[in-house]
């Protein structure tokens, strides 16, 4: 998208459509020249990485790419044929055509956060799977904020060409010193025809961190895109509304699992444009409010005949003091579509808790078991590392009281 | 004989409505007692009250278990004392797999899990507890869970109802194993139970030492189970009305 600089500059003053308006001037720019790390395991970031599903020993991974603040600090790819990994700026230098993928799925003048990324030529990760290749093990990426009072401002490009497949795990985290920071991450994701991409994002931020990811995905004919999003730890203000545009016969699945702790403000979900004939989508959100604010959004737009889509937002409220919103939206522009939604907000039914207690579980154990099941139900085949993270988060949340 | 369970003048409400209106009943150690009574008379409510479900509020009276007053105890405290229950209509537990619940409720869960085929439950361990289970599957799942739990006193709410002829044999044998704790029938049994039945079919497998008849929130009479069943079969519960022999203290 040939953006004219002036309109993007003006967008710097444009609030996001949802979520609290964050003041960009409160933060410094994060460094573009962070420390370079060879071995993640001995790096001191190991625990942070594993908390967000990124394995430090890189076993059973096709590659790992890590950003600290605003620069790449680690990039290692296995000998997987057809896979390319580098920084976005490097890709722009290497291939003439990469610029055509920049700001094509995402409008830089969308709001102040995208404008900021655009105007600062943010770097990020570039992952490409060439046509005809199926990458066996997942590629993992990590976005780490190390410096307090800074903005992490990244621009990622993922391209899975025709007849190809890729699984990505991307973890984002802040170090203990960088509680009051802001993450802006623009991700533009392109899936070709007859391809598969599974994109799992796991966030673990600080109690004051502001988070404004901006993600847009274009899915080609007969391709499948799965987007998993997990946030279990406290965060300051998080707002994200990733979108996908589907071609003929394409499918998209958005699965979200969140815990809104006291002091956290989370506004997230998924938006799918069903533009192709016979395209389909499913948006599923499971959240727990532990006294925080939780808004689960889902929006389906049916633009082509034969579109089929379902939206489900379920939320359990464990503690008073916060608020929970479920905002399901269906919009159809042709007659031949089948779009449905379900939303439910409330506490866990007492008879379910007592049924488990009648088998000898304490009330805390019963509640944890139901909550764990409720949350994991949103994502099929949760990676084992995440399962134990989920258990730890539920334990830490001390749900029984 | 030691009293395992003693219910004394128990009154209880669900919401505004009084459902138990002064129940008196005793189950001695090692005894199998059956509870008859027409639909809606309060049998399941009595069991839920003994188990401690908070949907029912006790307004008067006491529940004693092995001499200890458990009326105010939570459900899990009662379970830990050794009370277990097969519910007539258990709730769906979304997100919780049957196998995981069994793992959480038994120290010896691997042995129980490997016995799942005996209950025809091997394909259900990865399914959410009770969700979409058929009537007969619910009974077998409840029995497998009770087998994991190994209670000393078991409440069985219509274990055979809705079960087909082939599976009734399975259920009967498994209930027998639970009550006789795997020992030979000649020995003294250890596990006591209170069993609700309309047809008495389950008695062919477990025998029964004493029967109670419940009507309109009270126990009307007690006697030999086979005699009571014969009377109910021949004359329905009408005779109880005219008899008016309410069991009191
Ligand atoms: N929560 C409730 N609110 C109102 N009425 C209730 C509630 N729970 C039970 N009841 C009523 O209490 C009465 C006794 O119910 P219960 O389930 O104990 O009967 P039952 O003897 O087990 O009957 P069945 O043989 O049909 O299983 C019924 O009339 C039932 O509708
Ligand atoms: Mg009943």
pLDDT at A381 over 80: no
Tell me, in angstroms, the distance from the centre of ligand 2 to residue B54's CA: 17
pLDDT at B192 over 90: yes
Average pLDDT over residues B79-103: 96
Confidence of residue A390 (pLDDT cuts 50, 70, 90): confident
What is the predicted pLDDT for the residue at A224? 97
CA distance A368 to chain B (A): 10
Residue A399, pLDDT > 60, answer no
CB B54, CB B67: distance < 8 Å: no
Residue with the smallest CA separation from ligand 1 atom 5 is B14
* pLDDT at A5 (0 to 100): 87
Rounded Cα–Cα distance for residues B67 and A131 (Å) = 76
3-state SS class at B11: strand
49-88 of B, contacting A, C-beta below 8 A: 51-55, 74-76, 78-80, 84-85, 87
- Which of A34-38, A175-179, A257-261, B66-70 has the lowest average pLDDT? A175-179
How confident is residue A70, by pLDDT bands cut at 50, 70 and 90?
very high
Percent of residues, chain A, with pLDDT higher than 90: 85
CA atoms in the 13 A half-sphere facing the CB of A229:
26
A16, A239 contact by CB (below 8 A) = yes
Give the mean model confidence (pLDDT) for residues B57-69.
97
What is the pLDDT, as a whole number, of residue A387?
A: 72
Total domains in the fold of chain A: 2
Query: What gap in Å lies between CA A188 and CA B116, rounded to an integer?
Result: 49
B105 contacts in A (CB within 8 Å)?
A: 359-361
**B151 CA distance to ligand 1 middle (Å):** 25
- Answer with the one of A325, A349, A373 that is the final residue of a domain: A349
What's the pLDDT band for B188 if we cut at 50, 70, 90? low
Both A365 and A317 in one domain: the answer is no
Q: Whose CA is closest to A266, among A242, A243, A244, A287?
A: A287
| A70, A73, A79, A82 alpha-carbon torsion, rounded to 10° | 10
Asked if A359 and B79 come within 8 Å (Cβ–Cβ), the reply is yes
Closest C-alpha to A24, from A9, A37, A34: A9
CA distances from B42 to A111, B38, B47 (A): 63, 9, 9
Going from N- to C-terminal start, the domains of chain B cover 3-246
Enclosing domain of residue A266: 5-349
The 3-class secondary structure across chain A, one letter per residue, is CCCCHHHHHHHCCCCCCCCCCCCHHHCEECCCCCCCCCCHHHCCCHHHHHHCCCCCCCCCCCEEEEEECCEEEEEEECCCCCEEEEEHHHHHHHCHHHHHHCCCCCCCCCCHHHHHHHHCCCCCEEEEECCCCECCCCEEEEEEECCCCEEEEEEEEEEECCCCEEEEEEEEEECCCCCCCEEEEEEEEEECCCCEEEEEEEEECCCCCEEEEEEEEEECCCCEEEEEEEECCCCCEEECCCEEEECCCCEEEEEEEEEEECCCEEEEEEEEEECCCCCEEEEEEEEEEEECEEEEEEEEEECCCCEEEEEEEEEEECCCCCEEEEEEEEEECCCCEEEEEEEEEECCCHHHHHHHHCCCCCHHHHHHHHHHHHHHCCCCCCCHHHHHHHHHHHHHHCCCC
Instruction: Tell me the longest C-alpha to C-alpha distance in chain A.
Output: 66
Report the C-alpha gap between A14 and A118 in whole angstroms.
Answer: 14
Q: Evaluate if residue A145 carries a pLDDT over 70.
A: yes
Which residues have C-beta atoms less than 6 Å from ligand 1? B 14-15, 17, 19, 37, 39-45, 55, 88
Residue A70 structure tokens: 């605003």
Answer yes or no: do B95 and A355 touch at CB < 8 A. no
- Give mean pLDDT, residues A366-392: 78
Residue A284's pLDDT band (cuts 50, 70, 90): very high
For the stretch A94-128, pLDDT in tens is 999 999 999 999 999 999 999 999 999 999 999 99
pLDDT bucket at A1, cuts 50 / 70 / 90: very low
pLDDT of residue A394: 73
Q: What is the mean pLDDT of residues A239-258?
A: 97
Nearest in space to A200 (alpha carbons), one of A220, A225, A183, A181: A225
CATH 2.60.120.680 fits B3-246, yes or no: no
Residues A27 and A125 in one domain: yes
Q: Mark yes or no for CB contact A373/B90 under 8 Å.
A: no
In this prediction, residue B235 carries a pLDDT of 84
* CA atoms of B150 and A62, how far apart (whole Å): 49
Q: Which tens digit of pLDDT belongs to each residue from A221-231?
A: 999 999 999 99
A313 and A359 co-located in one domain: no
- Per-residue pLDDT band for B187 (boundaries 50, 70, 90) equals low
CA distances from A201 to A229, A338, B68, B204 (A): 5, 29, 53, 58
Average per-residue pLDDT for chain A: 93
Shared-domain flag, residues A205 and A116: yes
> Are both A153 and A51 inside the same structural domain?
yes
In tens, the pLDDT along A229-240 reads 999 999 999 999
B146: three-class secondary structure by DSSP? helix
Question: The tokens 């008495």 sit on which residue?
Answer: B200
At A400 the pLDDT is 43
A383 and A342 in a common domain: no
Cβ atoms of residues A73 and A66 within 8 Å: yes
* The dihedral sign for the CA sequence A382, A386, A391, A393: negative
What is the structure's pLDDT at A257? 92
Residues A291 and A360 in one domain: no
Q: Are B87 and A355 in contact (CB under 8 A)?
A: yes
Using CA atoms, how far apart are residues B75 and B47, in angstroms rounded to an integer? 12
How do A323-332 and B3-14 pair as beta strands?
A: unpaired
Confidence of residue B245 (pLDDT cuts 50, 70, 90): low
* pLDDT score of B249 more than 60: no
Burial label, B200 (beta-carbon count in 10 A; 0-12, 13-18, 19+): buried
CB-CB under 8 Å, B149 with A376: no
Do A277 and A390 fall within a single domain? no
Burial profile A252-262: b = 16 or more Cβ within 10 angstroms, e = fewer: bbbbbbbbbbe
A66 and A123 belong to one structural domain? yes
SS3 label, residue B119: helix
Spell out which residues have Cβ within 5 A of ligand 2, the ion. Answer: B 44, 88
Residue nearest to atom 30 of ligand 1 (CA): B40
Please provide the average confidence, as pLDDT, over all residues in chain B: 92
Higher pLDDT, A239 or B241: A239
Question: What six digits make up the tokens of A307?
Answer: 């579109």
pLDDT value for A120: 94
What pLDDT does residue B217 have? Answer: 96
| CA-wise closest residue to B192 among B223, B154, B146 | B154
Chain B positions in Cβ-Cβ contact with residue A350 (cut-off 8 Å): 54-55
Question: What spacing in Å lies between the alpha carbon of B44 and ligand 1's midpoint?
Answer: 7
Q: Distance (Å, rounded) from C-alpha A312 to C-alpha A79?
A: 40
pLDDT in tens, A327-360: 999 999 999 999 999 999 999 999 999 999 999 9
Nearest Cα to A283, choosing from A317, A244, A318?
A244
User: Which pLDDT tens digit goes with each residue over B6-43?
Assistant: 999 999 999 999 999 999 999 999 999 999 999 999 99
Pick from A355, A361, A394 the residue to mutate for testing the B interface (most B CBs within 10 Å): A355
d(CA A350, CA B229): 36
Res B93: pLDDT: 95
As a whole number of angstroms, the distance between CA A202 and CA A289 comes to 18
User: What's the pLDDT band for B234 if we cut at 50, 70, 90?
Assistant: confident
Three-state SS at B164: coil
- Name the pLDDT band for B170 (thresholds 50, 70, 90): very high
Of A349, A367, A387, which marks where a domain is finished? Answer: A349
Q: Do B91 and A351 touch (CB under 8 A)?
A: yes
Share of chain B above pLDDT 90, in %: 81
């Amino acid at each position: 998208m040939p953006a004219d600089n002036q309109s993007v500059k003006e967008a710097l003053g444009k609030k996001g459509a949802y979520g609290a308006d964050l003041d960009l001037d409160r933060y410094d720019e994060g460094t573009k020249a962070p420390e370079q790390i060879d071995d993640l395991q001995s790096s001191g970031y190991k625990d942070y990485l594993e908390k967000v599903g990124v394995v430090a020993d890189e076993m059973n991974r096709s590659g790992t790419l890590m950003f600290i603040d605003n620069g790449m600090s680690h990039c290692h790819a296995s000998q997987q044929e057809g896979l390319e990994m580098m920084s976005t700026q490097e890709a722009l230098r290497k291939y003439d055509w990469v610029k055509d993928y920049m700001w094509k799925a995402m409008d830089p003048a969308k709001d102040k956060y995208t404008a900021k990324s655009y105007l600062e030529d943010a770097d990020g990760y570039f992952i490409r799977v060439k046509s005809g290749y199926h990458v066996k093990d997942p590629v993992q990426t990590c976005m780490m904020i190390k410096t307090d009072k800074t903005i992490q401002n990244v621009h990622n490009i993922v391209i899975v060409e025709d007849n190809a497949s890729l699984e990505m795990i991307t973890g984002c985290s802040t170090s203990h010193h960088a509680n009051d920071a802001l993450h802006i991450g623009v991700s533009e994701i392109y899936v070709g025809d007859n391809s598969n991409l599974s994109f799992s994002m796991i966030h673990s931020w600080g109690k004051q961190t502001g988070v404004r990811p901006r993600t847009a995905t274009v899915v080609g004919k007969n391709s499948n895109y799965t987007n998993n999003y997990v946030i279990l730890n406290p965060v300051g203000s998080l707002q994200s509304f990733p979108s996908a545009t589907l071609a003929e016969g394409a499918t998209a699945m958005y699965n979200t699992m969140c815990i809104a702790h006291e002091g956290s403000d989370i506004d997230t979900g998924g938006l799918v444009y069903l533009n192709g004939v016979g395209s389909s989508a499913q948006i599923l959100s499971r959240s727990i409010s532990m006294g925080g604010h939780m808004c689960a959004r889902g929006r389906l737009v049916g633009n082509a005949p034969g579109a089929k889509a379902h939206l489900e937002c379920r939320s359990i409220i464990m503690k008073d003091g916060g608020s929970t919103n479920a905002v399901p939206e269906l919009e159809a522009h042709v007659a031949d579509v089948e779009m449905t939604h379900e939303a439910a907000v409330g506490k866990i039914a007492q008879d379910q808790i007592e049924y488990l207690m009648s088998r000898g579980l304490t009330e805390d154990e019963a509640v944890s078991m139901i909550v764990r099941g409720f949350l994991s139900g949103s994502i099929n085949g949760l990676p084992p590392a995440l399962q134990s993270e989920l258990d730890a988060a539920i334990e830490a949340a001390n749900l029984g009281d | 004989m030691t009293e395992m369970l003693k219910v004394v003048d128990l009154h209880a409400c669900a919401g505004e409505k009084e459902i138990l209106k002064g129940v008196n009943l005793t189950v001695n150690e090692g005894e199998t007692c059956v509870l008859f009574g027409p639909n809606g008379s309060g049998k399941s409510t009595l069991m839920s009250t003994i188990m401690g479900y908070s949907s029912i509020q006790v307004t008067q009276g006491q529940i004693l278990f092995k001499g200890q007053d458990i009326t105010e105890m939570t459900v899990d405290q009662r379970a830990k004392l050794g009370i277990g229950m097969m519910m007539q209509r258990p709730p769906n537990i979304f997100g919780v797999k049957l196998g995981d619940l069994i793992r959480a409720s038994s120290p010896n869960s691997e042995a129980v899990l490997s016995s799942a085929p005996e209950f025809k439950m091997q394909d259900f361990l990865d399914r959410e507890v009770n969700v979409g289970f058929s009537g007969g599957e619910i009974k077998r799942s409840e029995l497998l869970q009770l087998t994991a739990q190994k209670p000393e006193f078991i409440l069985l709410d219509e274990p055979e109802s809705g079960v087909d002829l082939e599976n009734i044999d399975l259920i009967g044998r498994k209930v027998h194993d639970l009550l006789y704790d795997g020992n030979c029938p000649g020995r003294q049994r250890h596990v006591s139970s209170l069993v609700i039945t309309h047809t008495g079919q389950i008695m062919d497998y477990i025998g029964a030492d004493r029967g109670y008849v419940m009507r309109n929130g009270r126990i009307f009479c007690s006697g030999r189970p086979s005699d009571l069943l014969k009377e109910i079969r021949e004359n329905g519960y009408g005779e109880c009305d005219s008899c008016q022999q309410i069991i009191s203290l």
